[in-house]
Every structure is written in structure tokens, then in C-alpha cells.
Structure 1
Amino acid sequence: MLEKKMLSKLKDKKNLLAFSGGADSTALFFLLLKHNIPFDIAIVDYNIREQSKAEVAYAQELARTHNLICHLHNAKKVEQNFEAKAREIRYNFFEELILKHNYENLLTAHHLGDRFEWMLMQFCKGAGCAEIAGMQKEQNRGFYTLIRPLLHLDKKELLAYLHTNKKTYFEDESNFDEDIKRNSFRHNYSLPLLEKYLGGIKKSFDYLDEDRSQLIEAIEIKTIDEFGYFKSSHNKRSDIFAIDKYLKSKLYMLSADERELLKTKTTLVVGRKYLVVQDRNFVFIAPSLQEKAEIMPHKFKEECRVLKIEPKLRLYLYKNPDIFLKVKELLAAV
């Protein structure tokens, strides 16, 4: 079921599997074992469901049985905005593990149904080809690669594999709560369409991936701590796609309105958290500093004036001298 090309990327690598005990991650767990792919697992207990204790116990039992490491994070209870906050908690935990234990790849069990429901949600908000193509099988996140080995498979294919091989898995009852937007899209739109048009939908994503590779230029995003930058492709679609990709790695998703604004504005604060500056041949992305501006030395202000550095970026550069040196180096060469 796993593609040969994907297996070659995982073999002889240090892999971390994001595990929940649900059907998707359980299927990926046993498929990785089947192909002798080395990996450890990481699970988060959000402490909001009784069943989560059984899921954690199952993860630990599987790890013991197969001589793997099971990393566990007991999260503090999330009181509001659960979906976004849980994602932030989850990825912060995974990335801490990756840095501490030198994992090369983070594996998640997203499948075709997840990709299709995301596509429908983006399409209904307003999106182009690059956005509705959605999840990618591989995504470079700087110090690790996010890999989704199941993206070509439908949920019913994963369930058939689990049932045929008599593997235990858990069903999260919150998946049936249609007050959650993605669940509403799943049960009312994506699942019925996948049931009826699975083959065509798979082919469509192949075409979308091919189209995206033609439309969107690959851009290398460099980072210094929390500062990201890249050389502009002079193709707005490609630049905005790269900005979106970088911010997703920081657990922030651009809204459709923000994408539109980035087409015309050279400076934009998004989500009240990040400052995006499109300056001549470069794009800079930095944390947006909300505190009152400090009194900066005359010499510093004069250097910024001569280089025509965006005023909203200056306070961050003043507080981060090494990054200021890099920005000066880049802009002086323009």
C-alpha cells in the first residue's frame, strides 16, 4: 500500500510517527513495521476524553511489543479554540522531540479523505489551484521533513487493511461532531463524493500536483531563529505560496483575505503575530513587535534610512543585531 518511492525516503532514516491510536495512524504504524521502516512514536493526551487514557496505554503497549520508543505529552486542558490550540500543542511537542533526538522525518497519517475535505473547504472560502491542491506528500520544514505516506489512500482502504489484519484501533467520538467545520464537510460532502468518485478524485489530485509544480516555482526559505527570508521569484503566486508555507511551519495559516492583500501590499501584519515585508528582491517574515517603539540610536536609524528598510521592521532588527547584519548584506547588494 505504501509507494516504493516513499519507502526509499524513509529507509535508513530516523523517523518519528505522530500516533493517536485512531485508524489512520494505527494503519500507518503497522505498514511501517511491515516494510521494516525504523521509527518511534509520539502521542499527545489532551485530557478531555476518558478514552484517551486507553489510547495512550495502547500506544505504550505497541511500543513495548515492537521495541520502539513511545514519547508521551500530557497537555493542559484546552478551554477554548480547541482545534487550533491542540494543533499548536501537538506540533510544538513533535518539534521539541525532533530537535532533542535528531529525528529527520515527522510522519503523519493524513490520507486522501483529509486532503479532499481540505480542498473543498479552501474552494468554498476562495482559493486557486495551488491552494486547493492542499497537502503535499513531503514538506521541508527546515530542520526536518514532514512526510504524509498515506496521502494517496482513502480511509476505506485503510480500514479494510486493519480489518483484514485484525488490528485494534480507536474511534474518536468527536469525529462525529458536525459543529466542527471539518467534520461537517467530511460527513456531508467529501465522504459521499469519495464513495462515488474515488478513482476520478485520485486522478484529479495527480493533475493538480502536476499543475502546481508548473505554476509554483520552488523557493528556498532561509531562517535565522524566528526570522525567515527568501529571494523573490518575481512571481506573486509563488512568493505568496512560499510565505504561506513558511507561516504554516509556524502554525499560522493565512486567510483568503490576507492572501489577497499580499498581492498589492508590500508590508502586512498577519494574525497580529507576523510581519511580512516584500522589499525589492526579497521577502522578509518576522515576529510583529507590538510594544511601543524604543528610542533607537541615530547611527542605526540612519543606516535603515539609507537602505530604505521598512519602518515596521526596524524595531525587530534593532533587537536582533545578527539579523540586521544579514538584511543589510542582502539589501546592499540590490
Structure 2
Amino acid sequence: MFKTFEEYINNRLPFLGSAKLLIGISGGIDSVVLSHLCKMLNADFALAHCNFNLRGKESDADEDFVLELGEELDVEVFIQKFDTEVYADKQKLSIQMAARELRYHWFEELAEQLDFDFILTAHHADDNLETFLINFTRGTGLNGLTGIPEVNNHVVRPLLRFSRVEIEAFAMEHQIKWREDSSNTSRKYLRNKLRHEVVPILKEINPQLLNSFQDTLSYLNDTADIVEESLNAVAKRAIVDISDYGITYKISEFKKVNNPKAYLFEMFKDFGFTEWNDVVELMDAKTGKYVKSSTHRLIKHREFLILADSHSEQIEAPIIMSQSEKSIETPIGILHFEKANKLKDNSSNTIFVDKSKLSFPLELRLHQSGDVFYPLGMKGKKKVSKYLKDEKLSAVEKEHTWVLTSEDNIVWVVGMRADDRFKVTNQTQKILRIGVN
């Protein structure tokens, strides 16, 4: 196996040869064999072990084993203890998902702090098959059937082409010791059920199952490349704006394709949406309708869909400005106040007002339901909400509309329109220029 592993690294993963590597090690056979293989390659590596405190003395024994292995291989060992059950309860995750999050977050921190180039994990061909079956049984799109990526940013899995049988044979041949995790025999986890009950039957039906599976993954990944290319082409035509408010998509481009639902799924699947029929219906819904996930909203606005973060709904605290302040930093930029010698035309980012008509302190806040102002150049008053609707602002843009007020009277719908009550007249003695950039 070592010769094959060496050839595979040289041909497929040559960048590992001169890199500083961090191996995630549990003490189980897979990660222990990977560590020995890297030692035989004379690689520059260290070991990182997570003690999740889930199996009492057994977890502590795993930790001791890894420390001894580090001495045997003459490499540095990093140990981190976690209170996994507390974390899982707090984050509302399964124990397995909590352990995965904790593990990878810590690996990333170590790599960044100590300048490791790559993180190696010991996933192998059988793991890949099990992950495929898990995704298949739970329901997934094409990406869920393309297998564990061999290289994912700086996480590398150099054992993916090797089977569990090959790894066990190598360990026996070289008299390598490892730790058995008792939880691996438990049938309460889906992965273990598949490993012990389903996969053996599939291998009995097809003794060359892993080879056939590798061929299937190759075909599926080729298909995924075609899908990605088509998706990118549609996205290029559909995306008309990317701003702080979100990403705006032209609905007509989705309606041109043969299967809009498939494109909508692929375009927005990573943003937490699950009700795909609702997403499809959004294309013909009224302006302002939206579909919400735990992290994002997809909003219908006229002939567009706008993808926005859910946190964009959060209310910002008002900002108070005294008369002495010349500039102040705000969520929409730096607000400037300066004396002006003569009146100039207002612009979207600058207005000129009669300073004597202002009562300090001024307040900058998000507009609220019921706000009314007197648009400059118009007779009478108007609700801000009606004004924004007439200006054809999207729901997200409306949420991000700020107003500058003086004693609760709107001076400026910032970036849009000044209020007529504060305009400069022939009787004005002091002109104040207010701008934002």
C-alpha cells in the first residue's frame, strides 16, 4: 500500500510533498495508518487530537494513545478537550454534528495560528460510500451524490482512493497498533447501520462495489461540472445587481429555462431554503412577498428576486448628533455637517438646509411606520412609506432607508429627498451643508 500511496501523492497531490501538514487523528486505525504513511514519506507533519469527553475513561485512553504515538513517530501532538454535550445542547445539534463542528473549527484555528499549509483527514473509500448512502436515504441534490471532496480548500483527504480492507491489511503487515472506538459498533447511528448491515449485502451482491462506486462518482462529478457550467451561464444573465442589500436576480431568465425549479434549487440551495414549491411560486407572486430560511430571505420585487440576509431585518439603534459635531460615523457612511457660503443644488448624498430651523440634537434612525415628511419642491405632506413605494424601492431597500430628524420632524430621507420645511430661503442667514459618504 505504501508504494501505491507514494505514487498517488506524487501524481495527484504533489503539493503535499513540501507542505507543513496537520493530521487530524482520533487514534482509530484510519488516522493512525495515515500518520505512519506520512512518516514513511518523510513528510513534515504534526498530530491534532480532539478529546470530546463522550466515553469517559475510554476517551482519556485515546488521548494517552495519541500522545504515545506522537513520541513513537517523533512528531508534535496537539490535544484539545471539549465539553461536546454542552455545546450540542447550546447549538441544538446532534452529538455527531457538534463534534464535527468543534473538530474542524479547532483544526482551522491551529492551522491559522501555527502556519500549517494543509489539514489531512483519514476518510477512505468506504467512508465515501457510506456518506453517499446517507445523503441518498435522506434526500439530496446532485452535489450530495458526488462524494467527499478529496481537496476542499486546505483540507485534504489522501486516503479516499483506498478501502478499509487495504488500510487494515497495511496495519497488520506493519504491526501497527490502534484504538477501537466502542461507539462504532452501536446501531443507533445511521452510518453504523449502513456500515454493518447494508454495505456488506451490497458487497456480497457486487464484490467490486467500491470500484464500481468510484466509476459512478466520476460520472456524477462530470455531470456536476456540466450543471455548474449551465448554472453559471444562467446566473450571469440573471444577476443584475450585487449590493449591501443583497443580490438581485431577473425572474425572466429563470422562466426561459426548461426547468426553473431545478435552477432555483441549485442557485439558492446553500442559503437554507427548503420549501421549493414556494420559491417557484414566488416568481409570479405580488411584490413584497418572500420566502424565508433561518439565514436568508428571497423577496419578490416587481420583475426581480432579491436574496438578502435575514439579519438585514434587524433594527439599528438611532444615532444622536449634537450641534458641535462636524462628522459622525453611521451604518450608512460618515455624516458630515459644515457651514456653506452659498446654496447649491441638493443631490442624493448632499442637502443644504437653513440651520436656524434645526433644533439640536439631531437624530439619525431607520424610518418607521407612520413617518410623514414634506418632500422638497412638493406641496403638502406625504407618508415616507408611500414615497418609497412611489420610488419603486424594494422591501430590502425600504428596510435600509434612514431619516435625519429634528424634534421628530424629518429633515432628510437620507439619499432620497430633503424636507421642504428646512429649505434655504431668501431670509436664511446660516446655510448648513449635510452630506454622507
TM (norm. structure 2) is 0.56
Q: Contact between 1:22 and 1:172, CA under 8 Å: does it hold in 2?
A: yes
Deviations 1:219-262 (A, max 9, x none): 7xxxxxxx9x98989798688557666x7xxxxxx68x467766
Q: Which has the higher contact order (CA 8 A, sep 6+)?
A: 1
Distance 1:33 1:242 in 2: 43
Q: Contact between 2:22 and 2:48, CA under 8 Å: does it hold in 1?
A: yes
Distance 2:113 2:265 in 1: 32
Q: Contact between 1:15 and 1:40, CA under 8 Å: does it hold in 2?
A: yes
User: CA RMSD, aligned part only?
Assistant: 4.0
Secondary structure of 1:207's aligned partner? helix
Find the partner of 2:102 among 54, 67, 89. Answer: 89
Q: Give the equivalent residue in structure 2 for 1:43.
A: 49
Greater mean alpha carbon deviation, residues 44-53 or residues 288-297: 288-297
Q: Give the equivalent residue in structure 2 for 1:297.
A: 366
Letter in 2 for 1:190: V
Query: Aligned in 2, Cα 1:156/1:242: closer, same or farther, shift over 3 Å?
Result: farther
Once the two structures are TM-superposed, the CA of residue 33 in structure 1 deviates from its matched residue by: 1.7
Q: Give the equivalent residue in structure 1 for 2:344.
A: none
Letter in 2 for 1:201: F
Distance 1:308 1:286 in 2: 17
Find the partner of 2:16 among 10, 33, 49. Answer: 10
Secondary structure of 1:78's aligned partner? helix
Structure ranking higher in strand proportion = 2
Distance 1:115 1:61 in 2: 29
Letter in 2 for 1:33: K
Find the partner of 1:193 among 184, 189, 202. Answer: 202
Q: Contact between 1:275 and 1:313, CA under 8 Å: does it hold in 2?
A: no
Which entry has the higher C-alpha Rg, 1 or 2? 2
Length, aligned pairs only: 295
Letter in 1 for 2:182: E
Give unpaired runs (5+ residues) of structure 2.
233-243, 255-259, 284-289, 319-364, 369-383, 403-437
Find the partner of 2:151 among 138, 158, 164. Answer: 138
Once the two structures are TM-superposed, the CA of residue 28 in structure 1 deviates from its matched residue by: 1.2
Letter in 1 for 2:219: Y
Q: Contact between 2:49 and 2:77, CA under 8 Å: does it hold in 1?
A: yes
Q: Give the equivalent residue in structure 2 for 1:64.
A: 71
Give unpaired runs (5+ residues) of structure 1.
220-226, 248-253, 319-334
Query: Aligned in 2, Cα 1:259/1:29: closer, same or farther, shift over 3 Å?
Result: farther
Q: Contact between 1:194 and 1:201, CA under 8 Å: does it hold in 2?
A: no
Once the two structures are TM-superposed, the CA of residue 191 in structure 1 deviates from its matched residue by: 3.7
Q: Contact between 2:247 and 2:308, CA under 8 Å: does it hold in 1?
A: no
Q: Give the equivalent residue in structure 1 for 2:296.
A: 275
Aligned sequence identity (%):
22
Q: Contact between 2:49 and 2:79, CA under 8 Å: does it hold in 1?
A: yes
Once the two structures are TM-superposed, the CA of residue 88 in structure 1 deviates from its matched residue by: 1.6
Secondary structure of 2:34's aligned partner? helix
TM (norm. structure 1) is 0.72
Q: Please tell me whether residue 161 in structure 1 is matched to residue 246 in structure 2.
A: no
